[in-house]
Amino acid sequence: MSLSEMRQSSFESLVRFDAVRVSKLLEQIQFAIIVFVIAFFVGSMTDKLFPITKDTESMHDYELWRDIFLQLALIVISAYYISKVAKLIPFFFSLTEQYIPSGHGESAAGAALAMAIIFVGVQKNFQARIAILKTRYYS
């Protein structure tokens, strides 16, 4: 296959819009929504476990790093189990028999995106600690 044929084939694959492509997109959306909902509640609870107090600004760097790493560890553990729980839910919207759910990790892609967005969004105390360290090192 020549280079131009490969490019043409890649372009056709990019713009193809069939039942399999729509099923892939629907699967990503479904799992993104499932993960978003679960992660919203778990992330909010995780953030409450690490409250910002009046003393947080005056903490030593060591204490801030410790709290950041502990919260990060809990975020990673939560993300791992949220993904596992989401995978227990079957894909509901396949439009064709040809589509094999998560054949190429579609559910993982949607779940990872939702997880990144929601955990950053609801982890305000985590963000505040990072901002404190940032001002100490880069002001």
pLDDT for the residue numbered 45: 93
DSSP string, 94-135: ---TT--TTTTSHHHHHHHHHHHHHHHHH-HHHHHHHHHHHH
pLDDT band of residue 74 (cuts 50, 70, 90) is very high
| Of the candidates 59, 51, 30, 47, the residue with the CA atom closest to the CA atom of residue 120 | 47
Domain of 72, in residue numbers:
20-138
Q: Is residue 84 part of a domain?
A: yes
pTM of the entire structure?
0.78
Q: Is residue 61 part of a domain?
A: yes
Q: Is residue 118 part of a domain?
A: yes
Cα 93 to Cα 32: distance, rounded to the nearest angstrom? 14
Is the per-residue pLDDT at 100 higher than 80? no
Is the per-residue pLDDT at 72 higher than 90? yes
Beta strands in the chain (DSSP E): none
- Count of other CB atoms within 10 angstroms of residue 21: 14
pLDDT for the residue numbered 41: 94
Q: Is residue 29 part of a domain?
A: yes
Per the structure, the count of domains in the chain is 1
Q: Is residue 5 part of a domain?
A: no
pLDDT digits 0-9 by tens, 4-45: 777 777 777 777 778 888 888 888 888 889 999 999 999 999
**Distance from chain centroid for Cα 107:** 11
End-to-end CA distance of the chain: 56
